[in-house]
Structure 1
């Protein structure tokens, strides 16, 4: 596990060397730093690297978090990476359903799950 960003309201870490993981209250204040930190990490990965996004630890669903997710998806495409899985919290899944953004996620699998453990 490698910590990329630690804020009072949210953290971004790499789990299992390939999973960008957000925990906390990712909102408009933290969205920019989260997007930037994730984008930089993705840019450092070799082409064809398989990556995943885990947002099951996001406590508040907002359009700001969806913006972070879309920035990361563009980075995956720009750097010729492979997006394997996107795991969403139930609140984020509902927001994704309402906004009909799921088709924009080129993941092999998009799942909705409760966080596996409390990471904070």
Structure 2
């Protein structure tokens, strides 16, 4: 696993074809997190399959959802196929409320 970002308990790592986020995602780090993940996505060849793992996000966070949506846009721009988005128990109700299951291949923790 390669570390892409580590700040104040927030961690972004890349494992195989997956971006993995853990810790608390706040708006103070959301732009930095989105940029690091978007840069990683842009480095992959078109047609590749990627996943996002937010199962380690520790809190309910609209900032995390903002980052997730930015990564989905970045993947689409790069011609990548988003296979799966794994969510933490804290994020699942928020994504349900936002109706993101229609837009993203969401997978709640434990699915």
Q: What is the TM-score when the length of structure 1 is the normalising length?
A: 0.87
Secondary structure in 1 aligned to 2:90?
Answer: helix
Equivalent residue for 2:99? 100
Aligned residues: 110
* 1:1-120 to 2 correspondences below 5 Å: 1-15=1-15, 17-105=16-104, 107=105, 110-113=106-109
Deviation (angstroms), 1:85: 0.8
Structure 1: 5+ residue runs without aligned partners? 115-120
**Structure 1 segments (4+ residues) deviating >4 Å:** none
Structure 2: 5+ residue runs without aligned partners? none
Q: What is the TM-score when the length of structure 2 is the normalising length?
A: 0.94
1:47-96 Cα distance to aligned partner (Å, 9 max, x none) = 01110000000001211110000000001110100111110011111100
Confirm or deny: 8 A CA contact 1:50 1:84 kept in the other structure: yes
Confirm or deny: 8 A CA contact 1:53 1:87 kept in the other structure: yes
For 2:34 and 2:42, locate their aligned partners in 1 and report how far apart those are by CA, in whole Å.
12
